Amino acid sequence: MANTQMSERRPSTPLHQVVDRELTWVQSGAFSRRHELRAGDEAIAALWHPKPIGSLALGEAAEGRWTFKRSGFLRPRVSVRVEGTEQDLLVVEMIWSGGGRFRLASGERFRWGCSSFWRMEWEIGREDGPALLTIANQLAPKMKARLIIDPAARRMPELPVLVLLGWYLMVLTSEDSGAAGAGAAAAGA
């Protein structure tokens, strides 16, 4: 696999230790496919694509490393695996509205979806419950968003992978929107 290293320094602070701090996802550059979750100046987690094209991404936090990959066209799905394994940890079944549904190994069902009219806030929550994670996107030349973690999620052992999954889905949504806009512009020319 090409360039699977995150950086010279792996995140060393567990996410559970910084949930009370202001957390922000930041894209490294306007055209970069590398993103970091920051608590002030400290990188807490990172998500990056090892190749310039394709949906495979690697996510890393102090708690571990995972792979994220979208597959399918008419019925897209996103699989999450512990890096180096072939077994899915979870699979998000995407729905036409841009959201999705998944189940953890514990059997708990979750949803991913937009929670604002302008599609600026997205969330992960239990299927019939309130949001556990909210990603509030900020308009900028590069992707940037505030991450809000509900107190109910702060002790979940799956929190790091859910945080990385939420951002991976935001990146896919952004890339899909950009591709759709470029296609519409080309069709109108």
Instruction: Check: pTM over 0.75? Answer yes or no.
Output: yes
Dihedral of the CA atoms 111, 22, 159, 166 (nearest 10)? 40
pLDDT at 119: 73
Q: Phi and psi dihedrals of 116, rounded to 5? A: -140, 150
Regions of the chain short of the pLDDT cut 50? 1-8, 179-188
Residues 6+ positions from 41 with CB-CB distance below 8 Å: none
Report d(CA 59, CA 40) in Å as an integer: 20
Q: Are 137 and 147 in contact (CB under 8 A)?
A: no
CATH number of 17-178: 2.40.160
Maximum Cα–Cα distance across the chain: 52
Both ends of the chain: CA-CA distance in Å? 39
In the block, which residue shows the tokens 């937009």?
114
pLDDT at 121: 93
pLDDT at 2: 41
pLDDT at 29: 83
